Amino acid sequence: MKGQHFLVDKRIAERQINYASLSDKDIVLEIGAGYGVLTKRIARKAKKVIAVEVDRRLASSLENSLKGTPNVELICSDILKIDFEEIPFNKVVSNLPYQISSPVTFKLLESDFDIGILMYQKEFADRLVAEPGSKNYSRLSVMASYSAEWEMLEVVPPAAFRPRPRVYSAIVRVVPGKRRFEVKNEALFYEVTKALFSHRRKKIKNSLVIEGLVSEENVGKLPYCEKRVEMISPQQIGEISDIIAVMRENEGKNKENI
C-alpha cells in the first residue's frame, strides 16, 4: 500500500468504464486493483476481469468482497513479473500505481490488446501526449508516439483519491497497433532517441558525436543536425536513425572489401 492512492470517486470510475466501451466479450486487465472500486464495475460489463494487486492484505480483502463474482480472477503478484502471454486480455482499465507508470506502460505496449484506459499522474500524462516544441516533449513522448495513439481524456483532482495525492491525475486512452512509422533498426532508434534527450539543450550534431553514435566527419551528412531535439518530430528522429543505420552498413561493407 505504500505510496499508493486509491480512487474513491465512483463517478470517475463509471466514466473510465464508459471510455473503455466494455461488452460481455471483453477480457479486461486491471493493474493495481486496490479496494476494487473499478474491479466490481468492470465485472458487471465484461466477460472477465483479471485483477492484479501486489499487496497481500489488499488482495485478501478484495477477494472476500468479490465472493459471488465469478468472472473476476484475482492475482496477487508484481505486475512487472507477470508474463502477459499467460493472461490473455483485450482491454486494460487501470488506475496505475504512479511509481511504476513508465515500466508498466512499456510492458503493456509489448503486448497485444485493443484499447487501454489508464490513470496516470498528470505530469506523466502530459509527457506521454506532448508535441515537439512543448516543454513536456521528452524521450517518453517519442517512444509513446512511436508505439501507439494517445489521448488525454480528463484531468482528475486529488480529492478523488484516498489518501489525497499532492498532484493532479489524468485519464488517458491508448490504442496500440502497428508502429506509427517504420525505422530500419529499432534498437538504434531507441539509442539515438536516448542520446538526443540526454543532451536536449545541445544541437543534434553535438549530442550524437558526444554519445559516439556518429563521427565528426559524418555528422554533417545528417538532416536537422543544427536543431535541438525538442524541435523535431519522432518521425524526424527516425530519419536520423535510418541514415546512421545506412552509414554503419556501408562502413561494414567497406571493411569487408579491404
For the stretch 230-249, pLDDT in tens is: 999 999 999 999 999 999 99
Confidence bin at 254 (pLDDT 50/70/90): low
Q: Taking the alpha carbons of 14, 97, 54, 75 in that order, is the dihedral positive or negative?
A: positive
H or E stretch including 94?
A: strand 91-95
**pLDDT over 80 at 256, yes or no:** no
**pLDDT over 80 at 151, yes or no:** yes
- Domains present along the chain, CATH in parentheses: 6-176 (3.40.50.150), 186-257 (1.10.8.100)
H or E stretch including 45?
A: helix 37-45
**pLDDT over 60 at 1, yes or no:** no
pLDDT of residue 4: 74
Percent of all residues in the chain with a pLDDT value above 70, rounded to a whole number: 97
pLDDT of residue 2: 46
Q: Please, how many CA atoms are within 13 Å of residue 25, restricted to the half-sphere of its CB?
A: 2
pLDDT of residue 85: 92
Q: What is the CA radius of gyration of the chain?
A: 21
For the stretch 62-75, pLDDT in tens is: 999 999 899 999 99
**pLDDT over 70 at 258, yes or no:** no
Mean pLDDT of the chain: 94
CA 153 to chain centre: 15
Torsion, CA 147, CA 48, CA 53, CA 18, rounded to 10: 60
pLDDT of residue 134: 95
**pLDDT over 60 at 3, yes or no:** no
Query: CB–CB of 114/91 below 8 Å?
Result: yes
For the stretch 42-64, pLDDT in tens is: 999 999 999 999 999 999 999 99
For the stretch 83-142, pLDDT in tens is: 999 999 999 999 999 999 999 999 999 999 999 999 999 999 999 999 999 999 999 999
For the stretch 5-54, pLDDT in tens is: 899 999 999 999 999 999 999 999 999 999 999 999 999 999 999 999 99
**pLDDT over 60 at 200, yes or no:** yes
DSSP conformational letter for 246 = H
